[in-house]
Amino acid sequence: MPKKILIGPFKQLLPLSGLPLKGALKDEQLTIINNGGLLVSEGKILKIGLYGGLKSEADEIESIDHPTVCLPGLVDAHTHICFGGSRAHDYALRNAGKSYLEIAKAGGGIWDTVTKTRQAPEEVLVKNTLKQCERHLKNGVTTLEVKSGYGLSVDEELKMLRAIKKANETSAQDLIATCLAAHMVPKDWSGTAKGYLEEIGNELFPVLKSEGLAHRIDAFVEESAYSPSQIRPYFEKAQAMGFDITVHADQFSTGGSQIAVEVGAVSADHLEASTDKEIALLAKSNTVATALPGASIGLGCAFTPARKLLDAGACLAIASDHNPGSAPMGNLLAQASILGTFEKLSNAEVLAGITQRAAAALNLNDRGVLEAGKKADFTLFPTDNYQEITYHQGQLKPSMVYKNGLLA
Ligand code: NIG
Ligand code: FE
């Protein structure tokens, strides 16, 4: 018989379960178990309840000897942490007054990282990705989505996705790979945008399937990248092959969220430029609206209208967008807390956005909440009051992080 291990007691245990997936949340809706415990077996939660009440069922006890608040392991549903080089120079140029799109047009931006990523051998990309994973683990993140998109040819995208797969074999977290070969039209592609997307669909998609490299397809829908009409057949082909769709949408101009909703994408991410029309479309749909405050902080531009999205009834996830260009900070909890202050989000909305709702953005229903049958992924913060977590805006670091029931 597999061993049943009781972990606790936690001063406050917040399972984040039982909350609606869509719409505004009040802190009063949060369940808080005082002196709670988790009974864990084979990496999964068997039972959640009062620590004292679970003792008699445990074969072993792992006691937590300092006051903690226990949350589900954080889920970062949008990152680009597999890359070569640095874009500190772009950052300086932006702060000197150049725009993100101007820098991109002048040969910097995404293409600069593509050049550096192509120069890096696969092992270097594995090492770089693992280094970023360690940093996210210290901040309580137990699941990370990781995109390709700095290869931009069949071979170079494969190199990135194989590196992400290898990193996943040794990282403490689960890495969920997404193919972002449609990040921009590669500057060294001599054909049309349509021709590039066809080549990716015909040559790369089948390998993603056969090697199990990614089950999600993303595209940057923007004036500087792909238009909604260019991307529709690409998404349709991907869906016909069984991939989930996610979209870089409405970052600087609208159009992306509409195509996301029309094709039934699992998430539409960014949305800084979304107006009431796009907000209403997203709210009516099952597409998760993912805010990326790290990109707003990195570029010095407006935040995603998170309050309006929630009030309209959308499912709002919050992710770091950690990447070398627009979002170099890479601290999900700090960014989500800051978004909360600017957009007036309750603790329940911020915490659900980086757990329950972030898992929905990745189409994962085995995590993001603490309840029987779910993964035993949880993060302990050294405090006796959950309100301290967002209050410290990312500076209250987890004292312990558990992944699949084990201390990570
Ligand atoms: O999500 N907007 C497009 N893609 C990334 C940025 C990538 C980069 O600047 O390297 C984003 O912000
Ligand atoms: Fe992104």
Residue 192: the pLDDT is 97
Residues 61-90: what's their mean pLDDT?
Answer: 97
Residue ranges matching CATH 2.30.40.10 in the chain: 5-73+370-407
How confident is the model at residue 217, as a pLDDT? Answer: 99
Q: What is the pLDDT of residues 333-375, one digit of tens each?
A: 999 999 999 999 999 999 999 999 999 999 999 999 999 999 9
Where do the H-state alpha helices sit in 344-402?
Answer: 347-353, 356-361, 387-391
CB 72 within 8 A of CB 370: yes
Is residue 107 predicted with pLDDT exceeding 90?
no
Where are the CATH 3.20.20.140 domain residues in the chain? 75-361
Q: Looking at the CA of residue 109, tell me the nearest atom of ligand 1.
A: 9
What is the pLDDT averaged over residues 162-184?
A: 98
Return the CATH architecture of domain 5-73+370-407: Roll (2.30)
Give the mean pLDDT of 67-73: 98
**Pocket of ligand 1 from Cβ distances under 6 Å:** 80, 109-110, 113, 220, 248, 251, 295, 321, 323-327
Residue 146 Cα, ligand 2 centroid: separation in angstroms? Answer: 10
Could you tell me the end-to-end alpha-carbon distance of the chain, in angstroms, rounded to an integer?
A: 24
Please determine, for residue 222, whether its predicted confidence score (pLDDT) is greater than 90: yes
Residue 272 pLDDT greater than 90, yes or no: yes
> If you measure from the C-alpha of residue 248 to the centroid of ligand 2, how many angstroms do you get, rounded to a whole number?
6
**With 90 as the cut, is the pLDDT of residue 96 above it?**
yes
Give the model's pLDDT for residue 101.
Answer: 86
Question: What pLDDT score was predicted for residue 378?
Answer: 98
Taking the centre of ligand 1 as the mean of its atom positions, its distance from the CA of residue 239, in whole angstroms, is 23
Ligand 1 pocket, mutate which of 132, 178, 248 (most atoms under 8 A from CB): 248
CATH fold of the domain at 75-361: TIM Barrel (3.20.20)
Query: CA 220, 249, 127, 335 torsion: positive or negative?
Result: positive
Query: How far is Cα 387 from Cα 394, in angstroms, rounded to an integer?
Result: 12
Q: What is the mean pLDDT of the chain?
A: 98
Whole-angstrom CA distances from 245 to 13, 72, 81, 206 are 34, 25, 20, 16
Q: CB neighbours of 369 closer than 8 A, spacing ≥ 6?
A: 15, 16, 17, 72, 355, 356, 359
Entry pTM: 0.98
* Residue that the structure tokens 């290869």 belong to: 151
| Residues, CB within 5 angstroms of ligand 2 (ion) | 321
Dihedrals phi, psi of 36, to nearest 5 degrees: -85, 165
The residue type at 322:
H
Ligand 1 pocket test: pick from 89, 110, 128 the residue with the most ligand atoms within 8 Å of its Cβ.
Answer: 110
Q: Which tokens hold the place of 145? A: 């989505």
Q: What percent of the chain has pLDDT over 70?
A: 100
- By residue count, the chain amounts to 408
The minimum-distance atom of ligand 1 relative to the CA of 87 is 10
At residue 65, what is the residue type? D
CA 394 to chain centre: 16
As a dihedral over the C-alpha atoms of residue 19, residue 20, residue 22, residue 28, rounded to 10 degrees, the angle is: -50
Residue 106 binned pLDDT confidence (cut-offs 50, 70, 90): confident
- Cβ pair 170, 127 in contact under 8 A: no
Contacts of 242 (CB under 8 A, 6+ apart): 209, 215
What is the pLDDT at residue 140?
98
For residue 389, what pLDDT band results from cuts at 50, 70 and 90? very high
The alpha carbon of residue 388 and the mean position of all alpha carbons in its chain are separated, in whole angstroms, by 23
Q: What is the pLDDT of residue 147?
A: 99
Q: Which ligand is nearest to the CA of 221?
A: 1
Q: What are phi and psi of 215, to 5 degrees?
A: -120, 20
**Residue with more model confidence, 353 or 105:** 353
- Closest residue by Cα to atom 8, ligand 1, is 325
Give the closest ligand to the alpha carbon of residue 113. 1
Residue nearest to atom 3 of ligand 1 (CA): 220
Ligand number nearest CA of 110 is 1
Q: Which ligand is nearest to the CA of 253?
A: 1
Q: Which ligand is nearest to the CA of 145?
A: 2
List the structure tokens of 101. Answer: 């799109």
CA of 184 to the centre of ligand 1 (A): 10
Nearest-CA residue for atom 12 of ligand 1: 326
Per-residue pLDDT of 14-63, as tens digits, reads 999 999 999 999 999 999 999 999 999 999 999 999 999 999 999 999 99
Q: Is the pLDDT of residue 4 over 90?
A: yes
Mean pLDDT computed over 89-113: 92
Ligand 1 nearest atom to the CA of residue 78, by list position: 1
Q: Which among 76, 78, 79, 80 is the best mutation to test ligand 1's pocket, defined by most ligand atoms within 8 Å of the CB?
A: 80
How many angstroms is it from 285 CA to the middle of ligand 1? 25
Please determine, for residue 131, whether its predicted confidence score (pLDDT) is greater than 90. Answer: yes
Continuous segment of H or E residues that includes residue 95: helix 88-95
19 CB-near residues (< 8 Å, 6+ apart): 25, 29, 30, 348, 352, 356
pLDDT class for 128, splitting at 50, 70, 90?
Answer: very high
Share of residues in the chain with pLDDT > 90 (%): 98
pLDDT at 181: 98
Average pLDDT over residues 300-309: 98
Q: What is the predicted pLDDT for the residue at 1? A: 86
What is the torsion angle, in degrees rounded to the nearest 10, for the CA atoms of residue 103, residue 105, residue 107 and residue 110? 70
- Measured from the Cα of 327, ligand 1's closest atom is 12
Ligand 1 geometric centre to CA of 232 (Å): 20
